[in-house]
Structure 1
Amino acid sequence: MTWTLADRVRGPVYEPGDDGFAAAAAGFNLSFAPRPDLVVTATSVDDVVEAVRFARSAAMRVSVQSTGHGAEAPIESGMLLSTRHLDHLRVDPDTRTATIGAGVRWKPVVDAAAAYGLAPVTGSSPAVGAVGYLLGGGIGPLARSHGFSSDYATGFTVVTGEGEVVEADADTNPDLFWALRGGKFGLGVVIEMRVRLVEVTSVYGGSFFVDTSDIERMLRGWIDWTAGADERVTTSVQVVGFPPLPEVPEPMRGKLLLGVRFAFPGDTTEGERLIAPLRAASPVYLDMIGELPATELGRIHNDPTDPIPAYVHGNMLDRVDQGLGTAFLDVVGPGAGDSPFFAGELRHLGAATGRDVPGGSAVGGRGAGFACGFVSAAPESFASEAPAAAARWDRTAAPWIADVNNPNVVSQPITAERVAACWPDDIRERLGQVRRRYDPDGITAGWWQR
């Protein structure tokens, strides 16, 4: 049956065992080795249409992948549709919008917008695929000042589960437009989106680190500070154990440090005033905060740019207090012992993330005040040790964990219950109705429902 599809699409079609199959299927998380029945590398809208129609006729689920950063579960059957070659990008400075193909990463969008004194509201990593990230909402370094990244979407071009090309915006198919801003999956294959750009040319931001002995003091100081934090400031903290490897900068090599990430889209003088209480909360070991051009926002979090094996577990949190701080330190702090997680993060939300867009959106977790995440990079822990530690965290942190999570935060383990909890009941029910309308056979549900 494969040859009929290969005859209809211009991009390559791979079956298991073909040269190029593994490379075409590979994602960012090396702990998963995707084993679909087919990999289709689309080079045009027509390729996507033909691939979806073929999958529907064969009763085959479609998993869509651009960069593969979002893969949190194995793909063991069906079709993997790669959109990485749909990489067209256009910035219109007059309307302050960017038209972004499904294969584009955030970095080219950032660079193209900067030429006009504009910027997209992105995530923490410029290497992540723009479309896949935004479909889940998107929490970036400007979250409190600007909101979820999906709040800036103005339109989408989608291939539905029946293989039809449709537009979705506030006036055309508004139900689908509502769902795509946060609904993540089962809504067809997005081949293009339009996003509104903002006038941000620089921020006062970056990160500073405290040494092991000051981790608890800094964490508790940050928690207290967030209670009155300026709505224009977005911060997060991460405890990370840096490996003793030559590629790690010498001051960090082999050390357990806490990093404070800070972003204020304003002038340096005001930024220094706003950060002063944090800098005074404990001795600072390394300070890398200053004026950053918008093209360098990725330096605030310095997320990995090369594929790695990882087990990631995340939650949205209603609030954070000193009790939660104690639980967090028990997982990744200096006394955590043999915890499988080498890094743990708390992100401060609220302010603009708590305000929905006109007409509403399907973003999950909008009412949460914080988000947390833990990462293990030890493959030997992925089968049992890391999942057990994640379950212990969920039990301990239950008083703080929000009832509603977010599909970009939920991470592993992917279960039906955890996915369902990514939206409140009313949004989840409405999403189901929209999914059934635009993908009645569930063709594009992909790995989320496997």
Structure 2
Amino acid sequence: MFDQLRRTVSGPVLGPGDDDFAAEVAAWNTATLHTPDIAVGLTSEEDAAGLVRVAAAAGTPVRVLATGHGSATPVTGGVLATTSRLSGVTIDAERRIAHINAGCRWADVIAAAAEHGLAPVAGASANVGCIGYTLGGGLGPLARTYGFSSDWARGFRIATASGDVVTASATENPDLFWALRGGKGGFGIVTSMDFELIELSTLYGGSVFFDAPQIAGALATWVDWTKTLPETATTSVVILRLPPMEFIPEPLRGKTVLSVRFAYVGDPAEGERLFQPIRDAGPTIIDAVAEMPAAQIAKIHNDPTDPGPGWDRGMMLTELDADFVSAFLGAAGPEQQVPFVAIEIRHLGGATHRDVPEGSAVGGRGGAYTLFMAGVPDPSLFTRVLPPAADALLAPLRPWISAETTINYAGGLTVPGSYEASWPSETFARLAEVRATYDPDTLFPYGPA
């Protein structure tokens, strides 16, 4: 198989003994070490199709790695196809369509679109790969206004288990298109995506930071405030336990703080008026909410850009109230000793609750909020310390935890039931049917082991 792949594929074909193997399979989440039997660096659609044909003939499973932000579970055998060489974004400004190759990150698309006064409905981090994020739905800083990111996908090119590269869109292979907008993995190797852009050059947004004594009041204000916001406003809140290190801004260094993030699409004066209740909630350490270029939207969340070890757990919440605030602060507030660097709540609703006209496989449209926990980035804690700490933190929050979630918040699918809960039961069943149609021999395994 090794020799056959090298004769078939233009990109590198590497084994564990090759010098470049470790770098080829490295994930952005450095806690996950992939050890496939073979790594194949794709350089074209033809490479993807050739790889699939060879792997199918050998009965060898294929998995795909882009940036590795979502790599929570190691790949321990088979073939790992890497897409980083499939780079490049082209913008059709008249049609407002970005053609995004599989190796692109949102930063590439944001920069290219901004030249035309356009923007993608992207994720909070510009460093995340576009394809894997979109296949899982995707909830970004404009979600209440524009919905899940996958709602803006207009077509995919994908190498399926037959060895053919096909188009999946509303008019070609619509069942596969439905599945790729939110169904995540197990359908083939996506080589590119057409993504509709929005007209947006500026917005009113950013983040403010409250010191520990103000957290309780600011959080209570935030929960009440979210119930008054129009769909043109999207917000999230996060408790950060920041280390006393130089890369942290000096006013925040070594502190436990609450950050409120905000993005408003419309008149900046109206955005300022809408945000005023948060400013009135108490003195802030930093106030960085103002009119900003849409091309700088990643500054709202300021997610890490360098690779590192990561552990997280996510879920959705129902409507919040004062009792939730008390329970949450009792479990995760500044006086609690918990091994989490970030505990975040995002406000949903608005466009996230409405499916696209032709339907999609996105799970979690009924969620009112999301909850996300990022553990201390010490891999020695990932197995024995962080899971029980998360269970303990979540126990008093059970009345508000939704039975449904969305797949991008399911982490490594290690929590029993998290895979099934990522979609409504009828969607879960239909996804299984689509996978069976396009991959009857499970060449592209997906789901918990």
- Measured against the shorter chain, the TM-score band is over 0.9
Q: Secondary structure at the match of 1:138?
A: coil
User: In structure 2, what is the Cα distance between the partners aligned to 1:153 and 1:304?
Assistant: 26
User: In structure 2, what is the Cα distance between the partners aligned to 1:249 and 1:56?
Assistant: 51
Name 1:258's counterpart in structure 2. Answer: 258
Name 1:30's counterpart in structure 2. Answer: 30
- Length-normalised TM-score, structure 1: 0.97
User: In structure 1, what is the Cα distance between the partners aligned to 2:318 and 2:231?
Assistant: 17
Contact 1:155 1:193 in 2 (8 A): yes
CA-CA distance at 1:129 after TM superposition: 0.6
User: In structure 1, what is the Cα distance between the partners aligned to 2:358 and 2:199?
Assistant: 24
CA-CA distance at 1:230 after TM superposition: 1.7
Contact 1:35 1:75 in 2 (8 A): yes
User: In structure 2, what is the Cα distance between the partners aligned to 1:290 and 1:26?
Assistant: 38
Contact 2:64 2:81 in 1 (8 A): yes
Q: Secondary structure at the match of 1:443?
A: coil
Contact 1:180 1:362 in 2 (8 A): yes
Name 2:365's counterpart in structure 1. Answer: 366
Name 2:144's counterpart in structure 1. Answer: 144
Name 1:10's counterpart in structure 2. Answer: 10
Q: Does 2:132 correspond to 1:115?
A: no
Alignment of 1:261-276 (within 5 A): 261-276=261-276
Report which stretch shifted further, 324-333 or 437-446.
Answer: 324-333
Name 1:54's counterpart in structure 2. Answer: 54
User: In structure 1, what is the Cα distance between the partners aligned to 2:424 and 2:286?
Assistant: 41
Q: Secondary structure at the match of 1:251?
A: helix
Name 1:282's counterpart in structure 2. Answer: 282
> Could you say if the C-alpha distance between residues 22 and 330 of structure 1 is closer, same or farther in structure 2, counting changes exceeding 3 Å?
farther
Deviations 1:310-345 (A, max 9, x none): 1100001122222332333244321211x1112100
Task: Tell me which amino acid in the other structure corresponds to 1:288.
Answer: A
CA-CA distance at 1:420 after TM superposition: 1.3
Task: Tell me which amino acid in the other structure corresponds to 1:234.
Answer: T
Alignment of 1:28-427 (within 5 A): 28-337=28-337, 339-376=338-375, 377-412=377-412, 414-415=414-415, 417-427=417-427
Two-structure CA RMSD over aligned residues (Å): 1.3
User: In structure 2, what is the Cα distance between the partners aligned to 1:330 and 1:51?
Assistant: 52
Deviations 1:138-181 (A, max 9, x none): 10000001111000011111111222111111111111111111
> Could you say if the C-alpha distance between residues 13 and 328 of structure 1 is closer, same or farther in structure 2, counting changes exceeding 3 Å?
farther
User: In structure 1, what is the Cα distance between the partners aligned to 2:390 and 2:252?
Assistant: 26
Report which stretch shifted further, 110-119 or 325-334.
Answer: 325-334
Contact 2:99 2:193 in 1 (8 A): yes
> Could you say if the C-alpha distance between residues 412 and 49 of structure 1 is closer, same or farther in structure 2, counting changes exceeding 3 Å?
closer
Contact 1:314 1:412 in 2 (8 A): no
Task: Tell me which amino acid in the other structure corresponds to 2:359.
Answer: G
Contact 2:204 2:290 in 1 (8 A): yes
Contact 2:13 2:38 in 1 (8 A): yes
Deviations 1:8-53 (A, max 9, x none): 1111111112101110000111111111111111011111111122
Task: Tell me which amino acid in the other structure corresponds to 2:77.
Answer: S
Task: Tell me which amino acid in the other structure corresponds to 2:350.
Answer: A
Task: Tell me which amino acid in the other structure corresponds to 1:103.
Answer: G
CA-CA distance at 1:267 after TM superposition: 2.2
Contact 1:387 1:413 in 2 (8 A): no
User: In structure 2, what is the Cα distance between the partners aligned to 1:445 and 1:297?
Assistant: 35
- Length-normalised TM-score, structure 2: 0.97
User: In structure 1, what is the Cα distance between the partners aligned to 2:323 and 2:55?
Assistant: 50
Give 5+ residue unaligned stretches, structure 1.
Answer: none
CA-CA distance at 1:412 after TM superposition: 4.4
> What's the % identity of the aligned pairs?
46
Contact 1:203 1:266 in 2 (8 A): yes
Report which stretch shifted further, 160-169 or 123-132.
Answer: 160-169
CA-CA distance at 1:413 after TM superposition: 5.0
Contact 2:71 2:412 in 1 (8 A): no
CA-CA distance at 1:89 after TM superposition: 1.4
Give 5+ residue unaligned stretches, structure 2.
Answer: none
User: In structure 2, what is the Cα distance between the partners aligned to 1:3 and 1:428?
Assistant: 38
Contact 1:237 1:260 in 2 (8 A): yes
Contact 1:311 1:412 in 2 (8 A): no
Contact 1:134 1:181 in 2 (8 A): yes
User: In structure 2, what is the Cα distance between the partners aligned to 1:15 and 1:167?
Assistant: 31
Task: Tell me which amino acid in the other structure corresponds to 1:421.
Answer: A
CA-CA distance at 1:415 after TM superposition: 4.7
Q: Secondary structure at the match of 1:100?
A: strand
CA-CA distance at 1:77 after TM superposition: 1.4
Report which stretch shifted further, 407-416 or 293-302.
Answer: 407-416
Q: Secondary structure at the match of 2:334?
A: coil
Tell me the number of residue pairs that the alignment of Structure 1 and Structure 2 aligns.
448
User: In structure 1, what is the Cα distance between the partners aligned to 2:316 and 2:94?
Assistant: 37
Contact 2:207 2:287 in 1 (8 A): yes
